[in-house]
Amino acid sequence: MIQFNEVGVVYPNGFRALKGISLEIPKGQFVVVVGLSGAGKSTLIRTINNLVVPSSGEVLINGRSITKAKGRELRAMRTPIGMIFQTFNLVKRSTVLRNVLSGRLGQANPALSLLGIFSEADIALAHDCLRRVGIPDKAFVRADALSGGQQQRVGIARALAQDPEIMLADEPVASLDPPTSHAVMSDLKRISREDGITTLVNLHFIDMARDYADRIIGMRGGEVVFDGTPAEATNRV
């Protein structure tokens, strides 16, 4: 479970991006956060892995504050949190396999991983993750040889390789065409269901949120202006 307790974010330039957000997100829920650009969606989800550090309040994961965690404890709390990005954030010249395993770098054997040598078990895991996102045959292809939709599937496989309890997806389909967007959202939803992964997805468009969300959180000006089911969201957001 993720708990936001009065989470406020003020950026160094004085801009108040989040204004005291309190929310509880139960394990396994598939949440879509909607709102216009600048509403605070990205800031909100980045407080969950402490990529953005709240100026006030805190985020608890399974009852422990990630906001206050430091050093080794923070790294340990981040490990089961996968992140998926709008522009995929792949190492373009690397193979798909290396990209999928990059989130695991240093976890098992830091010395070997630095050299990019992965264990048989890691490689088997990467193949399994690629199979689950529907691109089992792309392991040895360079990341930049793939289509946008395929690259985002690599992004999802990389998150999956962390064996995540939580997935954070920041505008994961904003760079994709509508059919590919739906395919990627279906994949995220299916994987969240299969593994019971608590998932937060930021989207610009409410239409797609209605199709996939268990719960829709609407944001405007750093505040939550709607929180409910897709049915309740009809004509409201």
Write out the residues near ligand ADP by the rule CB under 6 A.
Answer: 11, 13, 15, 17, 35, 37-43, 171, 202
Please give the Cα distance from 198 to 37 (Å, whole number).
24
- Sign of the Cα torsion 159, 161, 162, 167 reads positive
C-beta of 84: minimal distance to ligand ADP in Å? 13
Minimum Å distance from CB 131 to ligand ADP? 30
- Comparison of 56 and 107: residue with beta carbon closer to ligand ADP: 56
182: buried, middle or exposed (CB in 10 Å: 19+, 13-18, 0-12)? middle
Q: Provide, rounded to whole angstroms, the least separation between the CB of residue 200 and ligand ADP.
A: 12
Residues 6+ apart with CB under 8 A from 81: 48, 49, 61, 162, 164, 165, 166, 167, 168
In the complex, the smallest distance separating the C-beta of residue 155 from ligand ADP, rounded to whole angstroms, is: 15
DSSP classification of residue 142? B
> How far apart are the two ends of the chain, measured CA to CA in Å?
25
CA neighbor of 69 nearest in space, from 85, 102, 47, 41: 47
Nearer to ligand ADP (CB atom), residue 171 or residue 195: 171
Per-residue tokens: 40 = 């605070």
* Residues whose CB is less than 8 angstroms from the CB of residue 44 and which lie 6 or more positions away in sequence, other chains included: 4, 7, 18, 21, 33, 219
- Between 90 and 139, whose beta carbon lies closer to ligand ADP? 90
Q: Closest separation between CB of residue 16 and ligand ADP, Å?
A: 8
162 or 202: whose CB is closer to ligand ADP? 202
| Min CB(14)–ligand ADP separation in Å | 8
Place of tokens 């929180």: 227
C-alpha torsion sign, points 182, 175, 101, 159: negative
Residue with CB nearest ligand ADP? 42
Identity of the residue, 129 or 188, whose beta carbon is nearer to ligand ADP in the bound complex: 188
Q: CB-wise, 96 or 208, nearer to ligand ADP? A: 208
